Structure 1
């Protein structure tokens, strides 16, 4: 028997080695590879919905304070500017009266312009055409005579005085000016007169209140139907306020600018 060629054993060894290599993967699971894990699906995002805006409750618009007609217990009818509301005095057209000097009233502590013609010189009350112990100084102007034989007179006045203790003047300078105008309307004008406040404003150390006085027709033929009446209450450091009262009828409305002249000139005299 011829001997095996040398390559036969080598071939068998190679075949055996190949079977071993191929058989190992089969024994451990067939050579399959693990599939990658799928990533967990993200949770659906929740979008925050803002709350619906709550409509704001409607705010009420404050009603502006208006001048109101206020009859007093004595029957005085006045359309007032309420205290605290500022209404500036409107400048009146015209040149007005010349200024010839100053009036100084040591009793009240007031000093203000003295007006020239057609005004009469300023005098103590005891020396004037109307004598009233309540006043200290007065400057007057005769505006008309009327009635039978022109026996009646109508005057324009510039008076200085201290506020009288018997007037219901309240606690403020506005109240002091109001009390003076109410007293004048009730006592110095005919029955049926009405008043309408046209200015209410602060001045140096005081308060100004201006009123347009409306008078009924005069059975005696008086021409004046309206009168610009102004009270300025001033704190002079004395126990009671001083008051400057100015009143000029519509027959001499060309002199209404005198009110502005007096207001600008008003000063307080230091106590000695």
Structure 2
């Protein structure tokens, strides 16, 4: 029904019977406490997990630093704890034996017979040996031969032929080569001898070549322990008349960290001098 102004049902205040009038508003009840499975518990879990992760990270970094600081790549590492091997090549390849092998040569019980005639004397090597007349002449240069670079400074030689590769020689040459640690009292003669002989074959002669072994043994030369390797090599080179050569390498223990080396070579074109190989080896004497 409508209420029109000025009509019989003009508006006015109406109070319902038996209903009390409204008073001031009451405060709202506090919210319930969050359940244990709510956001607060998740925050506690994240804090715990974060702490564990931090501990693991710290331990991992400590281990990594220990590895880096103790490794070869660490620039601050004390290099003295791992020094480089500065020993000569022969000393590295042939460490001095702690016990002499059974049957190894030792210094003779008596001095060898005195040497007669003219001598070639090698003060550095600590030996002397027979000196020969013409066509042999005195060696007057330093020849550092092969991978081992044995420095031949003393001896005799003569030119057997000249060809496109240069001059070819017969030779009797000696040298001193470091072959042991400074505190070593003996040499591994067999090992050193084989190393030097292999270097001779690989570096002194035309390649490829074939080898006929003639002698390979521990012995004594002039009363000194020695290793002798004697062999004949066969080869070919453009313009070279010689196709073979009789050679010998002797390594002599002179009681020093350096070994004495005697190298003898007689080209096949001059076989009349083959006797020199055995003759000069037998003439070796200590200084």
Give TM-score scaled by structure 1 length: 0.53
1:114 matches 2:131: yes
Q: 1:163 aligns with which of 170, 173, 177?
A: 177
Tell me the CA shift for residue 230 of structure 1: 0.4
Q: 1:236 aligns with which of 237, 241, 254?
A: 254
Give the distance between the partners of 2:102 and 2:161, measured in 1 at CA: 37
| 1:261 alignment counterpart | 279
Bigger CA radius of gyration: 1
Tell me the CA shift for residue 108 of structure 1: 0.8
Tell me the CA shift for residue 191 of structure 1: 1.7
1:102 matches 2:87: no
Pairwise mapping of residues 1-272 of structure 1 onto structure 2 (< 5 A)? 101-123=118-140, 125-126=141-142, 134-147=151-164, 152-164=166-178, 172-201=188-217, 202-204=219-221, 205=224, 206-215=226-235, 217-218=236-237, 220-269=238-287
Structure 1 window deviating more from structure 2 (249-258 vs 172-181): it is 172-181
Structure 1 window deviating more from structure 2 (199-208 vs 259-268): it is 199-208
Tell me the CA shift for residue 196 of structure 1: 2.6
| 1:49 alignment counterpart | none
Question: 8 Å contact 2:150–2:176 — kept in the other structure?
Answer: no
Question: 8 Å contact 1:134–1:164 — kept in the other structure?
Answer: no
Tell me the CA shift for residue 165 of structure 1: 5.0
Unaligned runs of 5+ in 2: 1-100, 105-115, 181-186
The number of residue pairs the alignment matches comes to: 163
Give the distance between the partners of 1:175 and 1:133, measured in 2 at CA: 16
Give TM-score scaled by structure 2 length: 0.51
* Cα 1:235–1:165 shift into 2, 3 Å: closer
Tell me the CA shift for residue 100 of structure 1: 6.1
Question: 8 Å contact 2:212–2:231 — kept in the other structure?
Answer: yes
Tell me the CA shift for residue 250 of structure 1: 0.5
Task: Indicate the SS of the match to 1:181.
Answer: helix
Task: Indicate the SS of the match to 1:251.
Answer: helix
Question: 8 Å contact 1:174–1:209 — kept in the other structure?
Answer: no
Give the distance between the partners of 1:163 and 1:84, measured in 2 at CA: 26
Give the distance between the partners of 2:233 and 2:190, measured in 1 at CA: 18
RMSD value over aligned CA atoms? Answer: 3.0
Unaligned runs of 5+ in 1: 1-82, 87-98
Give the distance between the partners of 1:162 and 1:174, measured in 2 at CA: 17
Give the distance between the partners of 1:193 and 1:106, measured in 2 at CA: 34
